[in-house]
Each structure stands twice: as C-alpha cells, then as structure tokens.
Amino acid sequence: MKRFWRKAARHGSNRRAAVFVAIIDAENMASSSLKNRRLPVGAEPQPQGGTHFRVWAPAAHEVSLEFDGGGSQPLETEPGGYFSALVAGVGAGARYRFRLDRDRALPDPATRFQPDGPHGSSEIIDPSGFAWTDEGWRGIAPEQLVIYELHIGTYTPEGSWAAAARHLPELAELGINCVEMMPVAEFPGRFGWGYDGVNLFAPTRLYGRPDDLRRFIDAAHALGIAVILDVVYNHLGPDGNYLRSFAESYFTDRHGNEWGEALNFDGPDSAAVREYFVANAGYWIDEYHFDGLRLDATHQIFDDSADHILAAIAHRVREAAGPRASFIVAENDDQTAQLVRPPGQGGYGLDALWNDDFHHSARVALTGRREGYYRNYRGRAGEFVSLARHGFLFQGQHSGLHGRPRGTPALDLAASRFVVCLDNHDQIAHSGAGKRGHQLAAPGCWRALTAYLLLMPGIPMLFQGQEFAASAPFLYFADHEGELGRQIAAGRREFLAQFASLASPELQASLADPVAPETYRACIIDHGERARGRQAETLALHRDLLALRRNEPVFARRDTRVDGAVLGEEAWVLRYFAEDGRDRLLIVNIGSDHVLDTVVEPLMAPVEGRSWQLAWSSEAPRYGGTGVPDPVADGIWRIPGHAAILLAPSAP
C-alpha cells in the first residue's frame, strides 16, 4: 500500500562524558578487533577494552571521530572505502559523531542508539550487558502462529516497551503466540508509524532504551510468545537520513520507487549496501532475539543480481537464529510466489506472504463498498472458498484495477504460506476516519468472519485491540513540521481520494490532520474496555475461537485436509477431514437465513453412521448474539444468517 512518512518522540538525557582517546595502531590489535566485531560497521565495545569504530564512506578522503564532551581522533583508511579505529578508554554510554573531510559532523549510519533523535549524536551500546533468560526458547513453528500486530506508541498511554510488556500475559491467556511489532528503527519527531526510519540499527528513543526492547522480548519468550519485527528495506525517511552524505551509492536511479529513491542492491558499489541491509536483518535476530521479520512492501525492493537481496536476508536470518524457529513474512502487492519457494526451487526462502486478497474480499462483504483498490472483489462465497483452498485469488489473471495480470501461480503453496487478516494498520487508516472493521460491519457478520479468520487454513493476524473491539481509531499520523508536514497532509488526502466516498470536498475537509498531536493521541488503546459490555463479549469470542484452533485436533493439526463449497452467494462451507472420523463442518452465512430441504453438496454429507450436531455458534449469547436454531432437524437444514456455525459428528 502507498505510505506516507511517520512517527513519535521523547528527549533522553544528554549525558556528556569526557573521554580519553587513544588510537591503537598495532596491526595485530586492529586485526583482533575486526574478528570480534558482530557487524561490519558501527561502534562495538571490545572484550579486551575500548571500542572499535568502522564506517563505509567511499567518497570521503578522511574521516575522524568526535566525542561529546571533547576529544577527536582520525580513522584509518581501509580498502573499499571503509574507515576504522580501535579506540581505548571509550565504552558504552559515550556519544560520538563522524566528521567527513572536515565538514559537518554526522551521526553513525549504523548507530545502535540515538538518545536525542536522528539528528543528534550516536551512543555506544554494549549488547553483551543484558542478562537474557530465554536460553531454552526454541520459538514456534510458522504453521502454528497466531499473530498480533502491535504499534508500541499507541498500545498504551505511556507508549513504551515497558508498558506494553505488562499486557503480554493478557495476550498469552487469549491464545496469541506471536507479536508483530510495527517498525521501531529511529525516526524524527514525537510520534509516527515508524515506516520513515532513518537509523536502521537504532531502536527509537521514543519507546525506551535498547535494553527495554530486550526486556519486552525476553518477557514475551517467557510467556511462550514469539516476537517478529516489521522492517523497511524499500526506502528511508525524508528527514534525518544522512546515508547519502557517506555514500551516494546507497541509492540508485536505475529503478523507480513509490516513496522516493530506490536503494541500490544491484548497481555499482552495491556490495557494501547489500552488506549493510543483510547485516541489519541478522542484527535484530542476534542482538535482540527477535524471532523473525515482516518485510515491508517488497514489491518496491529491486534487485536484478543473481543473489536477490531478499534471499540473502532470509539466509542471514536463519543463520542468526540458529536452532531457534524463525519466521519471515513479506508484504508483496505483486503477489509473487517465488518469494516463499525454497532456494532449491529458485525461490527466496521466505516463510509467508500477506494475503491482501483475503482482507479485500472480507471488507467488500462486510461493507458493500467496491471503490478504490477494492474494485476487483465482490465479497461472495466463492472467493472465500478459494481463499481457503488456494491462498491468493489473483495468481496471474488480468486485474482490472492494475490493467495487467496480477500475481503468479501459487496453487502448490500450503495454507501456512499466507497470513490473513480482517484489520491491519494500513487498512484501518485507509477507511478515512480510522474506523476498525467491527465499526463498519453488521455485528453478526463481523462475528461470523472472525470465526472464519481464526478457524480457516492459514496464519491469522489480529490488529491491536481487535480482540476486544477497541473503540480507538487507528489514523495515519506523522510528526513532521513546515513544508514537509504540509506535503504529507496533502499526499494523504490525495491518496484517500481514490475512494469515491472520501473524495468529496466535505469528506476531504473532515480528514484528521496527520501531523497534529491530537490525531496521534486519539489512537491510544484503552485497555479498560476489555471488561465492558460488548467489548467483553468480543473478547470471549476471540478467546473461545483461539482455544478451538489450539485444542481441537482438526484445527491444531495444520496438515488437516480441508475442502470447501459454495452454498449460496453469501454462504459457504468448509469441511475439515480427520482420520478418526471426527470431521468438522464450518458453515458461514453473511446473508439471510437459508432453509434447505434438499442438499446436493457432498461435503455436507455426515460421517457414516452419524449425524451432524451443533458444536459452536458465533451467535451464542455470550458473544452478544441472539442464538441459533438446531441447524439440522428432520432432514431440513436451517442455516442462520449473519452467523458462523461449527458442526461435529454425533457420538457413534
């Protein structure tokens, strides 16, 4: 999806440390320090003392270190445009900049922390100082994941990793076993979505210090929750991005890009650029124990080289994870199946793709609107059956919206190769008013499709607060001032104008200002809603469905054979086949009641010698429903409207 620039701020203390600087020139010491490096670039404290600094700046003739509080030291030249030095008397907590050719002093392109934001000095961080307790953690198999997308800045009023960690037990109790954290790489301003990151190795100061992020992940692992990080390798933000000052070669005009300059993964001098991004992918797994990555907008990552950068990233993530399970999921508007095929079959070796087809069909079914990028979808039963059986709906057919074929053949891919959702950060914000799906749909239909989401094949994902029908919107917000802020607001209005209902002058005037602090504050979740009325009923719905998914053998076994059929334009059935005869039928009807005295669909036939009995219904009163009749009586099927029902065989 098109994006705009985003994120949030707080000012850390500006600790000034006078440092004793001494360069150690001995060749053997320099060689030893290189062997001890975790990353090819950046500042790294060494076991024998001091800190080793290394930066790629091929256009510079000389590079020197400058420390807050006084002290400077020239770096030694290395082949390939690198500069480095092992500096004694400098350790964790010291702040520094690089001065290129006696020009302006700039933050480190591979800084591990920016306490005063992307324009301030870099701080040396020692990753070995954190006491991890997750030695026994081995992760979760991809096919078992239930993902929860989370934006740290709005998940709690405090907007911090420490505050978010206090809610992890609630997620574990619900049945969530994976948090997908929206981007945390440092970006300018006081608030935003995080997709305008400019310091890719530095967790943003807005949510706490680096060890606060480590504590969040350590606590999640103790509760059986994996954590994956949303990373942006298709562009950098427009404010605070100093990479070009170090090397023009970070960017290229050989490829176009929706959000500015494309990154150079295949042109001249691209080896160091590739090294930088591949190292970043491994860094999050190694130093922070993330369990994987969500790769943003991979259709805007361009690489014509033999070893595609996405394949190189996947290899590095697996290497960094070691024996732990890892998970790499990509957003890819082109729906290219090659991304998730194994390298031996010419693929890139990722694990899964976001399936926007599922979301778009569901949104049309729930709202009736087929405007903007929803025009390709009808929200009919046949689409939902195909989504369960085949993953993507578009696998190379012509798309009216795109004016060309969309997707590639993916019929061979398992259901666990697709992440499906009813809400995510983009789609809620693109409603204009930031309304969540439950606020746009009829309650019964929302419950029915929630059941389908959580019980169908595939990897389900919830967006923060979805489990209890949170009332807070999720709007687009980005803290940029002046002309950039005005351009962002105008760009947002222009993007939303593709939806006819949001194109009128009246609606355009009502859109929230993305750079206004009140827009950001409106999106903060109120966790107190969990225990209130309809929100508590929604929470019970999600808890029970996730328990079914986890405990019922036909749902828990992700290799269960599933088939589906259309029962009407708005009604369909999935049958889950069990070897022991404990099959299940999931029937979803988002239209009016169906009464059938003859059923010609073989998937509806009962297990031999048994009859179908109601096992669960989305219309149970505990979920806010109005109840359902016995679905099968005297040979007559009564399929309730705006409901999902689960049937099981009677006792033998």
Residues tagged active-site: 296, 331
Asked if 533 contacts 455 with a C-beta cutoff of 8 angstroms, the reply is no
Alpha-carbon distance of 93 to 91, in angstroms, equals 6
Nearest CA to 183 among 445, 425, 517?
Answer: 425
Three-state SS letters, 377-392: CCCCHHHHHHHHHHCC
Question: Cα dihedral angle (249, 250, 255, 258), rounded to 10 degrees?
Answer: -150
Burial bucket for residue 453 (CB in 10 Å: 0-12, 13-18, 19+): buried
Asked if 121 contacts 56 with a C-beta cutoff of 8 angstroms, the reply is no
For 576, the 3-state DSSP assignment is strand
* 411-446 residues labelled b (16+ CB within 10 A) or e (exposed): eebebbbbbbbbbbbbbbbbbbebbbbbebbebbbb
Nearest CA to 273 among 261, 284, 285?
Answer: 261
Rg (CA), the chain: 26
Alpha-carbon distance of 323 to 359, in angstroms, equals 34
Tell me the β-bridge partners of 104.
Answer: none
The Cα-based distances of 345 to 47, 281, 315, 338, 348 in angstroms read 42, 23, 15, 9, 9
Backbone angles phi, psi at 421, to 5 degrees: -155, 160
CA-angle at 555, arms to 554 and 561, nearest 5°: 60
Q: Residue 245, CB half-sphere, CA atoms under 13 Å: how many?
A: 16
The Cα-based distances of 275 to 76, 97, 100, 282 in angstroms read 20, 22, 21, 11
Structure tokens at 237: 């933000």
Burial bucket for residue 79 (CB in 10 Å: 0-12, 13-18, 19+): exposed
Asked if 364 contacts 379 with a C-beta cutoff of 8 angstroms, the reply is yes
For 569, the 3-state DSSP assignment is coil
Q: Residue 558, CB half-sphere, CA atoms under 13 Å: how many?
A: 17
Burial bucket for residue 491 (CB in 10 Å: 0-12, 13-18, 19+): middle
**Lookup result for tokens 């082949």:** 79
